[in-house]
Structure 1
C-alpha cells in the first residue's frame, strides 16, 4: 500500500471523490482567486467538519485526514477546511451553550465560517495586543477594532473573535460578517491562497449578545483548545507534502534526471507517515493544558512545516525550468508551502515559543 494511501485511510471515501471530480478541475481558478464555496459545502456534507466535534482523538484524526486528502490537491481548500474545523472546535468546546445553536450547520457545511484567532494567539504569546476592544453594554458587549486577515469569510459567514475588556478580562464571541457593524473588505492580494475568502474585518460598535458569547473567560478557555487548534493544521502540511511527492512520481522523465536529489518522493512519504503517527499520539493528549504539552504540539507543527517546505522545494527542483513557468504546478505548490510556514502559529512564532521553553 502506498504511503499516501496509508496516511488518509480514515478519510471518508466521498472526500476523495470530491477532490478528484470537483476540486482538481478547478485548481487554476482557485489559485487565481475563486472561492470554492460549493466544494466546501460538499465536503461538509460528507462529515469532514464534524468528526472532531466529539472531542475525541479519533475525531481529530479523522478531521485531519480529510484535510490531508484535500491538501494533496489544493492548499487553499485545505486551509478553508481548517478554518471551518477550528470554528467547529471552539463552539463544541465552548463554555456557553448559546453559540452551539450554529454547530450543526457549521459541522455539516450548510453554513461556512472562519476563525478570527490569529491575532489572539499572538496576543497570548505577547507578540501583539488584542485587536478587538469591548465594554459591557446592556445584556452583552459593545465591540470595536480591526482584524487584518480573517479567512473562509463572506457575507453571512460567522467567525470567532476575542475582545479585551477594560478590567483586563477577555471574552470570546461569535460574530456575523458582512453587516454594517462588522464589515469586510478585500484590500490585499496574496502570492498564493487568494481563493480562501480572506478579508480585513472592521468592527464598529458591534453588539455581541450574551447568546453569542462562547466564553466569558478566554484566558482560561484558550489553553483548553490550543492543542486541537494547532494539531488540526497538520492536515494542511501533510497534504501538501504528499501532493508534492505525487507530483514528483507522476513526472517519470524528471524523476530519472533528479534521482540524486537529497529528498525524493519515497523519503517524503516516509516522513509524512512518521509525522502522522506523532499526530495520532499528540491527539490523545489534546485536552492537556500544561505548557510542556503545548510545546510538544508546536514542535510537531514545526516539523510538519519543514516537511511541506522541503517537499515543495524538491518538487520544484525536479521540475527545473518547467516548474519556473507561469502556471506551473510545482511553483503553485511551492507558494502554498510557504503559507504553511507563515500561518499562525508561524515558524518564527513557534521557534520563539520553543526558545522560551517551559
Structure 2
C-alpha cells in the first residue's frame, strides 16, 4: 500500500488545535470514563492516523510526535490514538488482498478500532498461551476464544487478532465487534484510562472471511510489524513527560519549595530531547527484522517508561499535599504514568526479554 489516504476538508485543523479546542475541555469526563470518540474522529480527519502509512522513518516519527502532542494533555486519548495507529500499521504492512478495502477508512478515522495483539505478543514471547483458536471453513475461518482488555472498541469497531489453527499455523485477521458472535463485556474498572473503550472480547464461533485476513502466516508477519508497534508507543510516554514538565513549570510556589529535588522540569525536558533523538535513529531501522534491532527498540521503550514514571513522581513531590488531593492534575498524570509501564510490552515483559537475551 504505502499511500496516505485522501483526507476530507477538516484537514485544515491541526492536532494542536483539536487538542486545545476539542480535547482539553473533555479531559475530566474522559478520566471519569467517557470515550473520546468525537475527538478521535476529528484527529483522523486531520490526518493524525495516516502519517506512518508509507513506512518511512519520517512518517513513523511524525506519527509518534502527533501522539505525543495528544499525550501532553490526555494519555487516555493518546492510548486510543496508539490503538488506531497500530491497526493502521498492520493494514498498511499487509500483503493480503482484503486489507486494501479497509485501509483508507481506518487511516482517516471513519472506522475506529484496536490492536488486539497484547495476548499474541506475549504468546510469541512464551509468556502465555495464544487465547484464540480457529478452524478452516469454506471462505474463511471459524474463530473462538476470549481476549481480555482490548481497547479503543465500541460496537461496530474493528480489531486485529491472531488465532491458532489445528495444524499449528497462526493467522492474523480483523474482526468486527458488537455482533452475536463477537461480544464486548466491561468486567472491571481501572484506576486510570477508564475512557479508552477497553473491554473483554468474547468470540463465540465467529466467522472470519478470507477478505478480513491481514496475514495468513502471522508468525512471519509479526517480525515485520513489531518494531513499529513498539516504537509508536513511545509517543505516549514522551508526551506525558512533556505535559508533566509543563505542569510543573506553571507551579511557581511549588517550584521554589522543591528547588532541591532531583528532577526539575528542565531535566525532564533534557531527557525527552535525548530520547527523541534515539527514537529518530530507531525509526530508520524499523524495517530491520533482526532480533538485535527489536531488543534495542525494547530498551528504548523501557527508558521512555522510566521517564514517564519518574516525571509523574517528580510532579507529585513538587505539588505535595496539593497533588495528593482527589481530582488534582498531578495525581491524574501520576495514575496515567503507571499505565505506560504496564501496557504490552510492559516493563516486566521487556526486562524479562532483555534478561533472556543477555
Query: Which TM class, normalised by the smaller chain length?
Result: over 0.9
C-alpha deviation, 1:111, in angstroms:
1.3
State the match for 1:132 in structure 2. 132
RMSD over aligned Cα atoms: 0.9
Residue aligned with 1:196, SS: coil
Deviation at residue 13 of structure 1 after TM alignment: 6.9
1:295 aligned residue:
295
| Partners of 1:348 and 1:127 in 2: CA distance | 11
**Partner Cα separation in structure 2 for residue 51 and residue 84 of structure 1:** 12
Q: What CA deviation, in whole Å up to 9, does each residue of 1:263-310 have, x standing for no partner?
A: 010000010011011000000000111110000000000000000000
Give the secondary-structure state (helix, strand or coil) at the position aligned to 2:111.
coil
1:4 — aligned with what? none
Q: Which moved more, 1:16-25 or 1:296-305?
A: 16-25
Offset of 1:95 from its aligned partner? Answer: 2.2
Is 1:264 matched with 2:264?
yes
Structure 1 position 29, deviation (Å): 0.4
Secondary structure of the structure 2 residue equivalent to 1:183: strand
| Residues 92-241 of structure 1 aligned to structure 2 (within 5 Å) | 92-241=92-241
> Could you tell me which residue of structure 2 aligns to residue 341 of structure 1?
341
Asked if 1:252 is matched to 2:245, the reply is no
1:9-48 map, 5 Å: 14-48=14-48
**Residues 68-107 of structure 1, C-alpha deviation per residue, up to 9 Å, x if partnerless?**
0000000000000000000000000012021221111111
Please give the alpha-carbon distance, in whole angstroms, between the structure 1 residues aligned to 2:100 and 2:345. Answer: 26
Q: Report the secondary structure of 1:324's partner residue.
A: coil
* Long gaps (5+) in structure 1: 1-11
Distance 1:209 1:18 in 2: 36
Match of 2:310 in 1: 310
Any idea what the Cα deviations from partners look like across 1:162-187, whole Å, max 9, x if unmatched? Answer: 00111111000000011101001111
CA distance in 2, matches of 1:355, 1:84: 31
The correspondence of residues 8-87 of structure 1 with structure 2, limited to 5 A, is 14-87=14-87
The residue number in structure 1 matching 2:8 is: none
How far apart, in 2, do the equivalents of 1:68 and 1:344 lie? 18
> In the aligned structure 2, how far is the partner of 1:75 from the partner of 1:100?
30
Equivalence for 2:331: 331
- Deviation of the 1:237 alpha carbon: 0.2
Give the whole-Å Cα distance in 2 for the aligned partners of 1:73 and 1:317. Answer: 20
Aligned equivalents of 2:227 and 2:143: distance in 1? 27
Residue 72 of structure 1 aligns to a residue in which SS?
A: helix
2 CA distance for matches of 1:100 and 1:122?
28
User: Where does residue 90 of structure 1 map in the other structure?
Assistant: 90
How many residues are matched? 347
Distance 1:253 1:296 in 2: 40
Q: Secondary structure at the match of 1:180?
A: coil
Q: Distance in 1 between matches of 2:190 and 2:82?
A: 19
What CA distance in whole angstroms lies between the structure 1 residues aligned with 2:312 and 2:34? 23
Matched, 1:281 2:278: no
Q: Give the secondary-structure state (helix, strand or coil) at the position aligned to 2:149.
A: strand
Q: Which stretches in structure 2 are left out of the alignment for 5+ residues?
A: 1-11
Tell me, in whole angstroms, the C-alpha distance in 1 between the residues paired with 2:226 and 2:356.
Answer: 18
> 1:77 and 1:186 mapped to 2: Cα distance?
19
Distance 1:224 1:181 in 2: 30
CA displacement, residues 225-246 of structure 1 (integer Å, 9 cap, x when unaligned):
0000000000000000001100
Superposition deviation, residue 137 in structure 1: 1.0
